[in-house]
């Protein structure tokens, strides 16, 4: 057990709400999106139809999951125009805000794996199967290969992400078994196992983040007191070190790694307000080297 | 940093050793990863193969391509389900024996209502439901089959006719074919007969069938449709194509005696190859029709109403 919970310092210095600002915003966003989708089937108010694979908002805005569409293309099917437009909109959007914003702000599995990660910390569950974080890219390649070899969208048969979202809107059936399996896997078998190591959906969206302008930046990294809270709460802690500790190596303060989900938890838990949302272009390597933190980059 | 490496160019033995160890570790790790993902992929491919076998009673929406193509096109968004005004479509849940998340309906509980504007097809973003389908009567969701003649009320000689009455393509997709009722000897049976060139597979017949288990069912056409083979020529069709000239009867054919078990005499059966010619028919005349008397053939002596064929011709 940790003697001190991650983020305790931040709560003490900023207050609970300020120390959970982005977490609350994220949960609100996830809930609001789900509510928007559920409004149709539950209350017959059809603002959004469909699910995360493809949806039509107000009968005019198409949004397509580019990953499933790519699999369909590889399987040898040419989609209708609306699906292509929808995919284009989604690709541009996630390029702008960071691909894995999908994971942190939209994906219905995220609250569950976050809960598993939180429980792991609270219960002090140690030990984790070691699998490389790059496994997800191999799995992504495998799903694309399977689609083109078999001519059918194989990954969608087992994809817990789309399965859960579809299940919530169209009838859950035995989907809860798959979801529970992912949760227990993350809790007992592998720390941050699903989202951080295996999920090819996240891997695909991380590819959209190469060059995303909106990034988290450790703009006041000189103020870091090495409390390690950000590493503790971050679902992809490997992305933090280069930016936070790179001042001596000539690396700028912006977290450029495409696997950063822009969840903002590091911003929340830092009592020194080291992190903030910023633009990738505002990345001076000399930041933090003079011992005096440069002015924080303006918000988003 | 290349410069840092250059500074200590004579690599100590221990460093070289750890380097090769690290290389070995990298190779092993990569092999482990590839094998793991490979096994996962194999398992998935096997499962996908199973998932292609759609259960016969799950019917795809109108315009759905063949199952293999459909599973490569459908992204499981459920737009067709949402736009079906009769809410008959469902998305398969993981425990059902249909590919997870794909749309289907069950004809017995809710058949396709054959909307003229086909909203489900229009809603499909991928073309898994073919947008070139604009006339619902051209859809082929399956093929109705009168699968149980033992329980079909019309086959029992009753006038149920429900499947025929509810058929949206009545008198084309299902017709009632008259057959003599040999049980009573005095009635007709109205046999519901499905014609595959018109049946859309909507399932209204199956849904309406009054027997406890449906006696008529919509099944995948591939499962039930036979095929004659390219070489088959149907005499009567060839005859009409040839302007009424039979391709057979125009020739001098020898009609061999019909072979029947010894001592068996079929009432009403006329065999021009062995029976004596009826009175008034000149011997050696050309083209004697080999139809039984009473059914277009020459009247045989002593023929009566009870001399109907024992089995209805199909």
Please name the residues in contact with B10: beta carbons below 8 A apart, sequence gap of 6 or more: none
Which DSSP string corresponds to B197-252? Answer: TT-----HHHHH--SSS-SEEEE-HHHH-----TT---HHHHHHHTTT--TTTTS-
Say yes or no for a CB contact (<8 Å) between B47 and A157: yes
What are the respective helix, strand and coil percentages of chain A, to the nearest 5?
Answer: 55, 5, 40
**Which among B36, B45, B96 has CB closest to A154?**
B45
Residues B76 and B94 reside in one and the same domain: yes
Please classify residue B7 by burial: count the beta carbons closer than 10 Å to its beta carbon, then call 0-12 exposed, 13-18 middle and 19+ buried.
exposed
Would you state the pLDDT for residue A18? 86
Burial of B33 (0-12, 13-18, 19+ CB in 10 A): middle
Q: Distance between CA B312 and CA B309 in Å, rounded?
A: 7
* Contact status, residue A297 vs residue A279, Cβ threshold 8 Å: yes
- Note whether B195 and B125 are same-domain residues: no
Which residues does chain A have within 8 Å of residue B1's beta carbon, measured at their own beta carbons?
none
Subunit contact B126:A86, Cβ cutoff 8 A? no
Percent of chain A's residues with pLDDT above 90: 40
- ipTM, two decimals, is 0.83
pLDDT, position B267: 73
Encode burial over A170-183: b for 16+ CB neighbours within 10 A, e otherwise: bebbebeebbeebb
Whether chain A has a CB inside 8 Å of the CB on B3: the answer is no
Residues B133 and B147 in one domain: no
Q: How far is A140 from chain B (nearest CA, A)?
A: 10
* Residue B28, CA distances (Å) to B23, B35, B214, B263 in order: 9, 10, 60, 85
Measured between alpha carbons, how far is A226 from A240 in angstroms, rounded to an integer?
12
User: Pick from B208, B225, B242: which residue ends a domain?
Assistant: B225
Q: Which residues of A touch B80 (CB under 8 A)?
A: none
Half-sphere exposure of B120 (CA within 13 A, CB side): 28
Q: Which pLDDT belongs to residue B277?
A: 63
Mutant choice from B63, B72, B133 vs A, greatest count of A C-beta within 10 A: B72
Question: B140, B174, B208: which is the final residue of a domain?
Answer: B140
Q: Which two tokens stand for residue A176?
A: 């809860």
Within this chain, do residues B127 and B183 fall inside the same structural domain, yes or no? no
Query: Per-residue pLDDT tens for B1-53?
Result: 344 444 444 556 666 678 888 888 888 888 888 888 888 888 888 888 888 88
Q: What are phi and psi of A97, to 5 degrees?
A: -100, -5
Given pLDDT bands bounded at 50, 70 and 90, which one contains residue A294?
A: very low
Mean pLDDT of chain A: 87
Backbone φ and ψ of B43, nearest 5°: -60, -45
Tell me the pLDDT tens digit for each residue of A158-190. 899 999 999 999 988 889 999 999 999 999 888
- Among residues of chain A, what percentage have pLDDT more than 70? 94
Rounded distance between C-alpha atoms, residue A14 and residue A8, angstroms: 10
Last residue of a domain, one of B192, B225, B258: B225
Which residues constitute the domain of residue B66? 27-140
Q: pLDDT 10s digit of each residue in chain B, 314 long? A: 344 444 444 556 666 678 888 888 888 888 888 888 888 888 888 888 888 888 888 899 999 988 888 999 999 999 999 999 999 999 999 888 888 899 999 999 999 999 999 999 999 999 899 999 999 999 999 999 999 999 999 999 999 999 999 999 999 999 999 999 888 888 899 999 999 999 999 999 999 999 999 999 999 988 899 988 888 888 888 888 888 777 666 566 677 777 778 877 777 777 766 666 666 665 555 445 555 555 554 444 444 444 444 444 44
Bridge partners (DSSP) of residue B216 are B146
| 0.80 exceeded by pTM | no
In a 3-state reduction of DSSP, which class is residue A215?
A: strand
Model confidence pLDDT, tens digit, residues A103-154? 999 999 999 999 998 898 888 888 788 888 888 999 999 999 999 998 889 9
Q: Are residues B84 and B163 in the same domain?
A: no
- The confidence band for A228, taking pLDDT boundaries of 50, 70 and 90, is confident
Place of tokens 């005696």: B257
In this structure, the answer to whether residues B43 and B130 fall within a common structural domain is: yes
The reply to whether B126 and B40 lie within a common domain is yes
Q: Check whether residue B124 and residue B161 sit in a common domain.
A: no
Higher pLDDT, residue A28 or B299:
A28
Residues of B in contact with A139 (CB under 8 A): 37, 40
pLDDT tens profile B189-199: 999 999 999 99
- Domain total for chain B? 2
B93/A167 touch (CB, cutoff 8 Å), yes or no: yes
CA distance B94 to A179: 11
Q: What integer pLDDT is reported at residue B60 of this predicted model?
A: 92
In this prediction, residue B96 carries a pLDDT of: 86
Q: What are phi and psi of B174, to 5 degrees?
A: -125, 125
Task: Mark whether B92 and B64 lie in a shared domain.
Answer: yes
Neighbours of B231 (CB within 10 A): 5
| Closest CB from B52, B79, B93 relative to A49 | B79
pLDDT digits (tens, 9 = 90+) for A46-100: 999 989 999 999 988 999 999 999 999 999 889 888 899 999 999 999 999 988 9
Number of H helices, E strands in chain B: 9, 7
Show me where the domains of chain A are located.
Answer: 1-15+215-300, 47-208
Cβ–Cβ gap B76/A56 under 8 Å = no
The two beta strands, B58-59 and A276-279, are unpaired
Quick one: DSSP state of residue B90? E
Query: What are the pLDDT digits (tens) for A178-223?
Result: 999 999 999 988 888 899 999 999 999 999 888 888 989 888 888 8
Cα A92 to Cα A63: distance, rounded to the nearest angstrom: 11
Q: Which residues of A75-99 are buried (b: 16+ CB within 10 A; e: fewer)?
A: bebebbebbbbbbeebbeebbebbb
pLDDT at position B115 is 93
CATH of the domain at B210: 3.30.70.20
Residue A11 confidence (pLDDT): 83
Are residue B125 and residue B159 in the same domain, yes or no? no
Please report, to the nearest 10 degrees, the dihedral formed by the alpha carbons of residues A87, A158, B220, B70 taken in order. Answer: 20
């Amino acid at each position: 057990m940790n003697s001190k919970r991650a983020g305790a310092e931040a709560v003490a210095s900023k207050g609970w709400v300020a120390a959970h600002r982005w977490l609350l915003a994220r949960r609100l966003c996830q809930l609001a999106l789900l509510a928007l989708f559920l409004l149709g089937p539950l209350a017959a108010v059809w603002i959004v139809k469909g699910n995360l694979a493809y949806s039509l908002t107000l009968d005019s805005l198409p949004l397509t999951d580019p990953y499933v569409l790519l699999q369909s293309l590889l399987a040898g099917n040419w989609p209708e125009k609306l699906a292509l437009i929808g995919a284009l909109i989604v690709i541009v959007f996630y390029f702008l805000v960071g691909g894995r914003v999908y994971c942190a702000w939209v994906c219905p599995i995220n609250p569950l794996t976050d809960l598993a990660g939180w429980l792991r910390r609270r219960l002090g569950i140690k030990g984790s199967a070691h699998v490389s974080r790059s496994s997800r890219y191999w799995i992504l390649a495998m799903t694309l290969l399977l689609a083109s070899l078999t001519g059918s969208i194989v990954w969608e048969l087992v994809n817990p992400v789309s399965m859960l979202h579809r299940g919530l809107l169209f009838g859950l059936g035995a989907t809860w078994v798959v979801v529970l399996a992912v949760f227990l896997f993350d809790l007992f078998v592998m720390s941050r196992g699903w989202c951080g190591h295996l999920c090819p959906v996240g891997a695909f969206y991380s590819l959209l983040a190469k060059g995303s302008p909106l990034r988290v930046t450790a703009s006041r990294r000189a103020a870091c007191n090495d409390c390690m809270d950000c590493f503790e709460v971050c679902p992809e802690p490997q992305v933090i070190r280069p930016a936070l500790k790179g001042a001596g190596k000539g690396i700028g303060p912006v977290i450029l790694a495409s696997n950063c989900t822009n969840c903002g938890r590091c911003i929340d838990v830092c009592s020194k307000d080291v992190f903030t949302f910023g633009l990738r272009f505002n990345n001076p390597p000399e930041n933090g080297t003079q011992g005096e933190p440069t002015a924080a980059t303006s918000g988003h | 940093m290349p410069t840092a490496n250059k500074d200590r160019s004579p690599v100590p033995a221990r460093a070289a050793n750890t380097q090769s160890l690290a290389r070995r570790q990298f190779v092993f790790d990569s092999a482990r990863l590839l094998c793991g993902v490979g096994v996962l992929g194999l398992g998935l491919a096997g499962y996908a193969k199973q998932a292609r076998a759609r259960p016969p009673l799950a019917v795809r929406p109108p315009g759905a391509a063949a199952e293999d193509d459909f599973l490569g096109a459908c992204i499981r968004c459920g737009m067709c389900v949402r736009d079906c005004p009769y809410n008959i479509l469902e998305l398969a849940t993981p425990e059902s024996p249909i590919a997870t998340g794909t749309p289907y309906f069950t004809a017995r509980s809710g058949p396709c209502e054959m909307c003229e504007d086909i909203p489900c097809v229009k809603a499909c973003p991928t073309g898994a439901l073919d947008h070139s389908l604009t006339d619902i009567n051209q859809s082929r969701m399956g093929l109705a089959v009168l699968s149980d003649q033992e329980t079909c009320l019309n086959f029992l000689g009753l006038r149920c006719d429900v499947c025929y009455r509810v058929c949206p393509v009545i008198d084309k997709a299902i017709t009632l074919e008259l057959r003599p009722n040999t049980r009573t000897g005095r009635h007709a049976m109205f046999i519901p007969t499905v014609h595959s060139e018109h049946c859309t597979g909507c399932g209204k017949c199956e849904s309406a069938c009054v027997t406890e288990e449906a006696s008529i069912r919509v099944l995948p056409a591939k499962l039930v449709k036979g095929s004659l083979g390219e070489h088959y020529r149907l005499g009567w069709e060839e005859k009409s194509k040839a302007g009424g000239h039979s391709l057979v009867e125009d020739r001098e054919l020898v009609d061999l005696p019909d072979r029947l078990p010894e001592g068996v005499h079929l009432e009403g059966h006329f065999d021009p190859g062995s029976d004596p010619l009826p009175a008034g028919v000149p011997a050696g005349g050309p083209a004697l029709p080999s139809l039984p008397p009473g059914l277009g053939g020459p009247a045989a002596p002593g023929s009566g109403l009870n001399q109907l064929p024992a089995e209805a011709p199909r």
